[in-house]
Amino acid sequence: MSGGWRLITVGLVGMATLAATVLLGPFVALVAVAIAAVILAIALRPQMSVYLVILIGLTAYPAFVPYQVTLGSFTIFVYEPVLFIAAVWSFVLLRGRKGIVGRTCVLLGLVAIWGAAGIAVGNPVIEVIGDARGLVNVALFAMVAASIFGTIYERTSLKVLLASLWVSAVVTLLSSLVGFPVAGRREDASLVLVDGGATASGATRLLTAATEISVLVLCVAIALAITGKVRLNRLVPYIIPATIITALGFSRNSVLAIGVAVILAFLVARTSIRSVAKIIGAVLAITLLFILGAAAGAPGAAYVSDQVTAFTGRVLNGLSSSTVASDSSALARQSENAYAGAAFAESPIVGHGLGYAYRPAVGEAGTFSATKGQYYAHNFWLWTLVKSGVLGLMAILICFLAPVLVALRTSDLIAKALAAAMIGLLVSMFFAPFVNDPGNGGSLAVGALLGATWGSIAAVRSHSRVLTDAV
């Protein structure tokens, strides 16, 4: 663009901004200009859509930043239009990687078939869409992640993810420290027991759009450190913010996912004693630093002590059988599983279709358990069996588990580390339906890891560059 046309463009944009400010107000004008800037950036460089999905969909922001827009009775998450553009661009980029496109089509085909089945049997259309969108977002972002794996766009995407993690860590930490309102769930970190008691807690639990991607980042980063393929000092910038966000989420499924990933990474990587010693040494050094700080009465020591106490009470002690037996949340999930098991038994082969209410309304009218909770289950695998039966579960496992098994059989440590993280995720999905959390970053997080696993297999087969040089 010549200097004259550039000047004219800037002038027109300035005039439009001024007019919008006068007519609509400064906030609406700012939003309109931001949307126009995003559209222009994507039009000039379509790969920007990938980075924007990370920044919009996987970052924790203050509560006043909108994560979704409501149109009548339907909600659109802000990242979804950008995700669609990124998926189209990725599809063009993926010419020649038919395996990745094929897996994406299987997931989308599953949604189409069982969505149509749900509508055919009379399930509410709005609930069919609600059940479908998580898996659609997983499929689309998996294709995006797979398409950029081993390409020049991978390095930039990881840098954007790193920036997203640090912004999210700061926002989450501020919310925990001073009550700064953040988009997402904010609640007391204690467990509510059926006898009326609760675990001790002076902490606040924060679940944001960055929580689930942080768990998976830790799974991958620790698995990579265990393999010794990537040096620990190159992973620390990712580990620190992801640890802060994960810890302040106080979720037991996060410990389960990370634990399984770590154990599997040790088994498949043939890790040297030196690598193990470095990891253990780093953990002990950080622990010792906290202990010494608390003993010396360092600033923030009381806050850290409260978080550790809450984490121990809710997460670590919350995994014991005695706590689970009296934890109201765990008992509610057991009730969910019983209803889901009964619904599965009624139609085990093909399921009931998307949008099926597998349990009755529970609790006060208008609450989640009395409305959307009838369609939502914390055990993703049982949820899949209820909605799509054994046939649907097999189709999903082809896309989720088969690539993991292939990656574990390769000699590439990057692929094995991603596979270890993926198995950690798959195990945790017995308790946390990451796929069905499109409004909280969950489906994007699953898509990112799934796509990276697909991409690692394609990279090994084509002998292209993998993740090592990009971290």
> Quick one: angle between helices 380-400 and 98-120, nearest 10?
150
Nearest to 107 by CA among 420, 430, 414, 403: 403
- Lookup: tokens for 355: 């949008």
User: What pLDDT is attached to residue 1?
Assistant: 46
- The pLDDT of 372-378, averaged and rounded, is 89
pLDDT tens, position by position, 240-261: 999 999 989 888 889 899 999 9
pLDDT tens, position by position, 197-213: 566 567 888 899 999 99
- Lookup: tokens for 322: 């005695």
Tell me the average pLDDT of the chain.
Answer: 82
Q: Which of 82-96, 298-312, 371-385 has the highest mean pLDDT?
A: 371-385
Query: Does residue 136 carry a pLDDT above 60?
Result: yes
Burial class from Cβ neighbours inside 10 Å (0-12, 13-18, 19+) for residue 195 reads: exposed
For residue 387, what are the CA distances in angstroms to 137, 180, 240? 18, 39, 38
- The pLDDT of 402-427, averaged and rounded, is 91
- The pLDDT of 389-397, averaged and rounded, is 93
**145, 162 in Cβ contact below 8 A?**
no
Question: Strands, E, within 160-241: which ranges?
Answer: 185-188, 204-207
Query: Does residue 352 carry a pLDDT above 70?
Result: yes
For residue 86, what are the CA distances in angstroms to 46, 99, 143, 325, 372? 7, 19, 9, 45, 29
Measured distance CA(389)–CA(394) in Å, rounded: 9
Query: Does residue 95 carry a pLDDT above 90?
Result: no
Query: Does residue 19 carry a pLDDT above 80?
Result: no
User: What pLDDT is attached to residue 466?
Assistant: 42
pLDDT band at 55 (very low <50, low <70, confident <90, very high): very high
pTM for the structure as a whole:
0.86
pLDDT band at 113 (very low <50, low <70, confident <90, very high): very high
Query: Does residue 90 carry a pLDDT above 50?
Result: yes
